[in-house]
Amino acid sequence: MPIDTKEVEKTLKAIKLKIEKAKEDLAESKGQKKALLSTLKKDYNLENFIEAQQTVEKLTKEVEFLGNEIEKKYTELREKFGF
């Protein structure tokens, strides 16, 4: 059975378009990554996403701790002053 060259050509063109689109998407993603890293460095003095994640985790724990402390002190004040 002979190969339909038109069909093969059509398929190859579709694959080529998908590859070109993937390359464009990759370039765009790299640009976004570079911009995000620049912002992390400039605004927060962080070198990479791992440092950012660690900082977020640390700050989240601090916020949770401080929230608990505030709640505890508030409860103490309510009990002490009866309101």
In 1-83, where does DSSP find H-type helix?
A: 5-44, 49-81
Residue partners of 41: CB distance under 8 A and separation at least 6: 47
State yes or no: pLDDT of 83 exceeds 80: no
pLDDT of residue 2: 80
- Dihedral sign, CA of 6, 10, 11, 13? positive
**pLDDT of 3-13, one tens digit each?**
889 999 999 99
Q: How many residues appear in the chain? A: 83
Q: How far apart are CA 69 and CA 81, in angstroms?
A: 18
pLDDT at site 1: 73
pLDDT at 79: 92
pLDDT digits 0-9 by tens, 12-61: 999 999 999 999 999 999 999 999 999 999 999 999 999 999 999 999 99
